[in-house]
Amino acid sequence: MDLELTDQVALVTGAASGIGQHLALGYAAAGAKVVVNDINADGVAQTVAAILAQGGEAMAAAVDITELSNAEGMINDATKAYGRVDILVNNAALLTEHTMYLETDPASCEREIRVILFGTMHCTRAVLPGMIERGHGKILNIATDAARIGQEREANYSAAKGGVISFAKSIAKEVGRHSINVNVVSPGATNSPMRINLQVGLKEKLGEERWLAREEKVKRLYPLRRIGEMEDITNAVMFLTSNAARHITGQVISVNGGFAMVG
């Protein structure tokens, strides 16, 4: 299936590494022009360089989206460079702690919510006027199944992502009349740098043998008996932000190997 993404302008937040970087490279490979956002300027430069190396087109947007003025400036710069933003992927996130809620640092909790929820809201506020004016646009938020069913030791992260889901559904109802689709991809466990780094810590804590046994138990929770890969997320996101998915909006699509079959 040709997703017809050639010459579309896609802005991906949190694209300095991990799933965001994979998404940015995927859009570029499909022929889209990519706006690469992250607060990590070096990572942004690396992602842009990788896109240019594969013959794609990209621009850097190394700004902190927790400030609305930064998000608005980023959209203005992208519009000046490429004429518009057709696709917004709200992917930026951070998981600062993996511990019980009462043991978490309130400042870390606030930081996670500012990046994940406010960052999503700011970028959406900045991009929507242009999409409404043109009568076309795609917005895709990355959530997590932890926000749909709960997750021990990730209460802050889950709460912020839960807000992202509710926000997407509400905006989908507001802007559908302008032919703007707003959806959510909700990953389960995925072999991204965030998960890999977490597993390194667990391996050091538990030891190799106990960690391997734990990983096998985790896989048994998934009907497909595998942990997701970043391309699994990218494939779903690119489909949902293409015209092939023009009649899908306000939906949360879990890409989780069957771990949580949420209605």
One DSSP character per residue, 134-164 reads HT-EEEEEE--THHHH--TT-HHHHHHHHHH
Q: Which residues lie across from 187 on neighbouring strands?
A: 255
H or E stretch at 10: strand 9-12
SS3 content of the chain, % helix, strand, coil (to 5): 55, 15, 30
Q: Is the dihedral of CA 170, 176, 180, 182 positive or negative?
A: positive
Cα 84 to the chain's mean position, in Å? Answer: 20
Q: Are 147 and 129 in contact (CB under 8 A)?
A: no
Q: Are 253 and 184 in contact (CB under 8 A)?
A: yes
Eight-state DSSP code of residue 228: B
CA 146 – CA 128 distance, rounded (Å): 28
Whether 157 sits among the annotated catalytic residues: the reply is yes
Catalytic residue among 82, 101, 157, 222: 157
At 252, list the tokens: 């949360």
CA 54 – CA 218 distance, rounded (Å): 36
Catalytic residues: 157
